[in-house]
Structure 1
Amino acid sequence: MKLFLDYDNGLGEQSLKSLLPFFEPLSFTPEAPGIERETVSIPRINGVVLPQHPRDVIYKERKITVEFYLNSIIAENFYQFRRELYALLVKPFPYYISTDLLPNLRFRVTCDGNFSIPKEKEKNFVTFTVEFNNITGLAESKFTSLTKQNFDGEHWSPGMNIQMRDDLEYRFKNRKRFQVYNTGDAYINPLEHDYNVTLWAAGKNVTIINHTNGEKLKIEQELKKSQRVSFIKQYTVINKTPIKTSGRLPGLDIGMNKFEILNTNDFEIIFDTRFYYA
């Protein structure tokens, strides 16, 4: 197997073999996703009641265990290679790891160094495990919705819920009603996920509604088509300046989401998002 690291620093993902060729990854084991949900007990009702909508259920952080093999050939190298791996994996910031065993998916992780690489007497080789913390509790697609969803370009893989259709759209122009497909396993939250929506519209009180989940946003000022409207978490901005709104940008439920745009006949909207997987 191959292991890749991406420090989100503009260099892209790099293979462990290219960075430290004497280390060989042997296995990649994420824990099952862990869910945290609310339950309520009601008299004369069997079991428990689930008051939350599934989109409000929380995925907890989880462990990913990676097993490695090191053969330093000579003893002097062992100590140097060990220190280099510590420096490579133990970082004060989160980063991404991925493997060719789960192509086109990556995991946002931290590694706080709660592992060691022991050297046994005359042996210059060892097998050991490193524990990563998948802080989001989910994997995410390496590519976004603007990359066509099929198996031709090697950007998407079996197990990523790719549909047997080639007409999914994420860019819409002057279409009052349209559908946006969330191909992942989890609700996409504008406050949390890599979910980028851009709007150009002419009109006053332009409103974006997701009828599937009931979420909507109204922009409470007149827009010109030349203005680029962006959505950054809970803020709606034009040229980095927040503007007045009510509601919030609708997120994406799992599967098909039915959208409607009100109070404009001249607009273009783009949904550029990653997808999230258990």
Structure 2
Amino acid sequence: MELYIDYDNGLGEQSLSNLLPYFKLVSFLPESPNIERETAKVHRINGVVLPQHPRDVTYKERDIKVEIHIDSIIAENFYQYRHELYAALVKPFPYYISTDLLPNRRFKVTCDGNFSVPKEKEKNFNTFEVPFLNVNGVAESKTTSLTAQNFSGEHWSPGMNIQEVDSLQYSFANQKTFSVYNTGGVMINPMEHDYNVYLYAAGKNVSIINHTNGEKLTIEETLKKSQKVSFIKQYTVIDKKTLKTSGRLPGLEIGWNEFEIQNTSDFKITFDTRFYYP
């Protein structure tokens, strides 16, 4: 059983036992998903009315409690190892933690301290709890849609909604209508999530439409097939130049999303996204 840490600095994840060999993971306990929704009370209506569309319901932040065991072997090392752990976990910036108990998923967290590692008399070992805050309230896949979704490559695991068909497509060329599958359990929002769409197209007023949720983006300029169009939150750009658009880049509903590309017959579009799990 391992705790993995990824500081999101390009160096990838490292196990706690490699970073600090005298510490071992004992337990990993995320709270249940914590939904925040609006309700309204209406006269002569039982209970409450739910005015929100399900896509507008959000997940609140939640606690993750992690138990860790220290064994310093000798007393003199206990104090030094304890401060090395504080330095490794208590950071001013968010980072990712994961465990092989929930493989191929990671949690974006902060750790603001507020825990201690007491040394008890002659004992050179102890088990203690570290509180993390899962800041966006959900887990995310470690890999993206461009990694084949099957169980043979060790990038996906049971419980991640993997389909029986492992040939799901996320890149389409000159195909006016196509389907994109959101494998996760959370609607993917381009303003919030690690959701990258790349478009190469020739035409004017090229539109991307998700008929499943009614969202549509139109690029109100002439595009050349040689130009790479990227979407960064609410911006549509080519080589850092912002393009004139109307609407918004469609997100992905849970499950199948039916797309259509209009005003071009020469294009390639790729959806490179992580998936999110309550």
* TM-score normalised to structure 1 length: 0.99
| Paired position in structure 2 for 1:16 | 16
Quote the sequence identity (%): 74
Question: Residue 112 in 1 paired to residue 115 in 2?
Answer: no
Q: For residues 202 and 11 of structure 2, what CA distance do their matches in structure 1 show?
A: 39
| Paired position in structure 1 for 2:180 | 180
Taking the TM superposition and a 5 Å limit, the aligned residue runs for 1:166-177 are 166-177=166-177
The alpha-carbon deviation at position 43 of structure 1 amounts to 1.0
Q: Count residues with an aligned counterpart.
A: 278
Q: For residues 214 and 167 of structure 1, what CA distance do their matches in structure 2 show?
A: 26
| Paired position in structure 2 for 1:205 | 205
Q: For residues 167 and 123 of structure 1, what CA distance do their matches in structure 2 show?
A: 55
What's the Cα RMSD here? 0.6
The alpha-carbon deviation at position 167 of structure 1 amounts to 2.4
| Paired position in structure 2 for 1:222 | 222
| Paired position in structure 2 for 1:154 | 154
| Paired position in structure 1 for 2:81 | 81
Q: Deviations over 1:161-186 (max 9, x none)?
A: 00011221000000000000000000
The alpha-carbon deviation at position 121 of structure 1 amounts to 1.4
Question: Residue 253 in 1 paired to residue 239 in 2?
Answer: no
Q: Deviations over 1:46-81 (max 9, x none)?
A: 111111111111100000000011111111100000
Unaligned runs of 5+ residues in structure 1 are: none
Taking the TM superposition and a 5 Å limit, the aligned residue runs for 1:88-107 are 88-107=88-107
Q: For residues 17 and 67 of structure 1, what CA distance do their matches in structure 2 show?
A: 14
Q: For residues 150 and 177 of structure 2, what CA distance do their matches in structure 1 show?
A: 25
| Paired position in structure 2 for 1:48 | 48
Code of the aligned partner of 2:92: P
Q: Deviations over 1:83-112 (max 9, x none)?
A: 000000000100000000000000000000
| Paired position in structure 1 for 2:123 | 123
Structure 1 window deviating more from structure 2 (116-125 vs 230-239): it is: 116-125
| Paired position in structure 2 for 1:163 | 163
Task: Determine helix, strand or coil for the equivalent of 1:18.
Answer: helix
Task: Determine helix, strand or coil for the equivalent of 2:9.
Answer: coil
Q: Deviations over 1:142-165 (max 9, x none)?
A: 000000000010100000000011
| Paired position in structure 2 for 1:196 | 196
Task: Determine helix, strand or coil for the equivalent of 2:272.
Answer: strand
| Paired position in structure 2 for 1:276 | 276
Q: For residues 12 and 167 of structure 1, what CA distance do their matches in structure 2 show?
A: 27
Q: Deviations over 1:13-54 (max 9, x none)?
A: 000010101001100000001000011111111111111111
| Paired position in structure 1 for 2:145 | 145
